[in-house]
Structure 1
Amino acid sequence: MRVKKLSITGKGNIDGQGKAVWTKNSCQKNYNCKILPNSLVLDFCDDALIEGISIINSKFFHMNIFQCKGVTVKDVKVTAPGDSPNTDGIHMGDSSNVSIIDTTIGVGDDCISMGPGTTKVNISGVTCGPGHGISIGSLGRYKDEKDVTDITVKNCVLKGSSNGLRIKSYEDAKSPLVASKITYENVKMEDSGNPIIIDQKYCPNKLCTSKGDADRVTVKDVTFKNITGMSSTPEAVSLLCSEKKPCEGITMSDVKIEYSGTNNKTMAVCSHVKVTATGVDKANTCAA
């Protein structure tokens, strides 16, 4: 049974009243934690529209999109304190043709997170912060996850987020998958940490069960174009790729990010990756 042409519009608030339970969230310490409720859940929807509403203080994810084909989120505001646990703004998985447009998100976890099986996503005009950035992943946590492909993030601003544009996969990935055809363009950083980060050794809170299987996740054909602004960390670019499956087809053009601290100089931290770069300070290109 699928839901077709669902619309949720207007200027109302969905208040998750999460403050009452955030202290009971144990997911940062325990993989088998009890998952708290999400505020707005779209499962098995085709051609859905979410427009104009505000979602605040969710107990867990503010919006969760699962097995949907065609979702437009437009002019939505998502708000929770920066220290509220696992309060992702918009999470999606096993879904296609998702557009997030002219939306403002400030939460305690990823502003937007794109999980396995996410394809054909357009993110445009989004302001993110506080939060953990705009993320692909985590990938590889469970067996038989599907690929992530055709993702475009364009004309966005990240303000004071702990990460910027991030791709993350577990270092103990359970089975092979590919993240590919990913484009970031015209994104401004306003004192965000780790503005550009690919992390194939992701292991939150050191909960990984084994080591050395990061080579099960392939990251390829990723473009960073006109990424500008200020970083709160010296590492403007962190490309931490797998030894057995190095990142492929990483392209940067006109990446100009300065450090907001002493001397304004930023740098790249890189492993197992070659970058094709134009209009980028050499310190940020992963050049040998």
Structure 2
Amino acid sequence: MVVPARRSFLVGPVNFHGPCAPGRITVQVQAKITVPPSTVVSTWSRVRNNYWLMFSRVDGLLDDPTIPPKPRYIYHKTIPNFPTSRNWTSAIKDSQALKLVRCNNLEVSRISSKDSPQMHVAILQSSGITLRKLTVTAPGSSPNTDGIHIEQSQNVRVADSRIGTGDDCISVSSGSRFVAVNGIECGPGHGVSIGSLGKNGDTAAVEFVDVRNVRFTDTMNGVRIKTWEGGQGYAKSISFTNIEFDNVDHPVLIDQFYRDRSVQVGVAISNVTYSNLRGTSRATTVAFDCSGGGGCTDIHVNSMVITGPGARRTVARCRNAQVAISGQVYAEIPCRS
């Protein structure tokens, strides 16, 4: 499927639904794709699904950068321009720009997504996914506009991309394993997050997540693990390596009290490694805020120096976490195993 260059195409909510007979499906987008204007009530009033473009049950999908000219996928719609009519605006405001569901061996590259009403790219129940050279932009004040959301998926790779949103640049949710994030520029936004996990007492499972070579600029958070009180399950075997922070509020976070401040034990967090973290922070450098009863164990911090602007002092806080320290670490972490 080819969308030719130097044009603008109007596309309403659509699902490209497989399975497909060929072993390799190529979508080449050279032009700009836009949603119907918000004034076209007839288009959005019938929307019952939370997506704009969706590929479901499609194996071997390729947005091929090798076919000249290089493909470009652009979602363009500004949140403040959505109408306020109650009978249909909620469908637009909850829409995700690009949704990939139950897809396998999929590669998407060199796409741009601008001002999605909610998540820009959502990957659900999929395997063997590669996203690279993406550009995602949204105002820092726009809520729930995660750049890339990964859930119930495995063997997912996100690389060499620039993401700026009003929420997480990348979020990894329950049911995900073997996720690799490499070479990301994040900002504005809420950082790269594992979670949130365990909402409403749910059982969560996230493991084998490797985040490396990421630069955060003017973000609220940097690398974060967040869980709800009362949840069950685990988040384990997670590493953050070669991370840079530039004017970040909270560079390193483990938060087991994401929305609740009770003392109930929640999702267990273990085998988390931080290696070679550098930069500047506007507030608390490290916050390991864990519940009692062994909520955070086997935490390793190896070589981390994060100062305030102008090399001013920063602080770290720690509660109920078992932390092993090696190399130069600043600010000093007050709890150690």
TM-score under structure 2 normalisation?
Answer: 0.76
Q: Counterpart in 1 of 2:61?
A: 6
Query: 1-side partners of 2:248 and 2:109: how far apart?
Result: 27
Query: 2-side partners of 1:151 and 1:231: how far apart?
Result: 24
Among candidates 121, 129, 139, match of residue 81 of structure 1: 139
Among candidates 162, 182, 185, match of residue 238 of structure 2: 182
Query: 2-side partners of 1:126 and 1:64: how far apart?
Result: 17
Letter of the structure 1 residue corresponding to residue 61 of structure 2: L
Q: SS of the residue aligned with 2:250?
A: coil
Compare CA radii of gyration and give the structure with the larger one: 2
Q: Does 1:270 align with 2:318?
A: yes
Query: 2-side partners of 1:145 and 1:22: how far apart?
Result: 36
Q: Which runs of 5+ in 2 are unaligned?
A: 1-18, 20-56, 65-69, 85-89
Query: 1-side partners of 2:203 and 2:174: how far apart?
Result: 6
Q: SS of the residue aligned with 1:216?
A: coil
Q: Counterpart in 2 of 1:228?
A: 278
Q: Counterpart in 2 of 1:130?
A: 188
Answer with 271-280 or 11-20: which moved more.
Answer: 11-20
1:87-106 → structure 2 map (5 Å cutoff): 87-106=145-164
Q: Counterpart in 2 of 1:202?
A: 258
CA spacing shift, 1:121–1:115, aligned 2, 3 Å: same
| Equivalent residues of 1:252, 1:280 under 8 A apart | no
Query: 2-side partners of 1:127 and 1:23: how far apart?
Result: 32
Q: CA deviation at 1:8?
A: 2.4
Letter of the structure 1 residue corresponding to residue 294 of structure 2: K
Q: Counterpart in 1 of 2:298?
A: 249
| Equivalent residues of 1:55, 1:77 under 8 A apart | yes
Q: Counterpart in 2 of 1:238?
A: 287
Q: Does 1:111 align with 2:160?
A: no
Letter of the structure 2 residue corresponding to residue 8 of structure 1: D
Q: SS of the residue aligned with 1:195?
A: strand
Q: SS of the residue aligned with 1:285?
A: coil
Query: 2-side partners of 1:249 and 1:178: how far apart?
Result: 13
Q: CA deviation at 1:38?
A: 0.1
Q: SS of the residue aligned with 2:119?
A: coil
| Equivalent residues of 1:91, 1:112 under 8 A apart | yes
Among candidates 316, 323, 327, match of residue 279 of structure 1: 327
Q: Could you report, residue by residue, the CA deviation over 1:39-89 in whole angstroms, capped at 9, with x for unpaired residues?
A: 000000101111001011001000000000011000010001111111000
Q: Counterpart in 1 of 2:12?
A: none
Query: 2-side partners of 1:112 and 1:89: how far apart?
Result: 6
Q: CA deviation at 1:232?
A: 1.6
Q: SS of the residue aligned with 2:241?
A: strand
RMSD: 2.0
Query: 1-side partners of 2:279 and 2:204: how far apart?
Result: 34
Q: Could you report, residue by residue, the CA deviation over 1:99-144 in whole angstroms, capped at 9, with x for unpaired residues?
A: 0000100000000000111100100000100000000000011454
Q: Counterpart in 2 of 1:166?
A: 224
| Equivalent residues of 1:22, 1:59 under 8 A apart | no
Query: 2-side partners of 1:109 and 1:239: how far apart?
Result: 21
Q: Could you report, residue by residue, the CA deviation over 1:177-213 in whole angstroms, capped at 9, with x for unpaired residues?
A: 100000000010011111000000001xxxx5x9443
Q: CA deviation at 1:266?
A: 1.3
Q: Could you report, residue by residue, the CA deviation over 1:163-185 in whole angstroms, capped at 9, with x for unpaired residues?
A: 000000012x3x41100000000
Between 1 and 2, higher relative CO (CA 8 Å, sep ≥ 6) is seen in: 1
CA spacing shift, 1:267–1:20, aligned 2, 3 Å: closer
Query: 2-side partners of 1:21 and 1:183: how far apart?
Result: 40
TM-score under structure 1 normalisation?
Answer: 0.88
Query: 1-side partners of 2:239 and 2:97: how far apart?
Result: 29
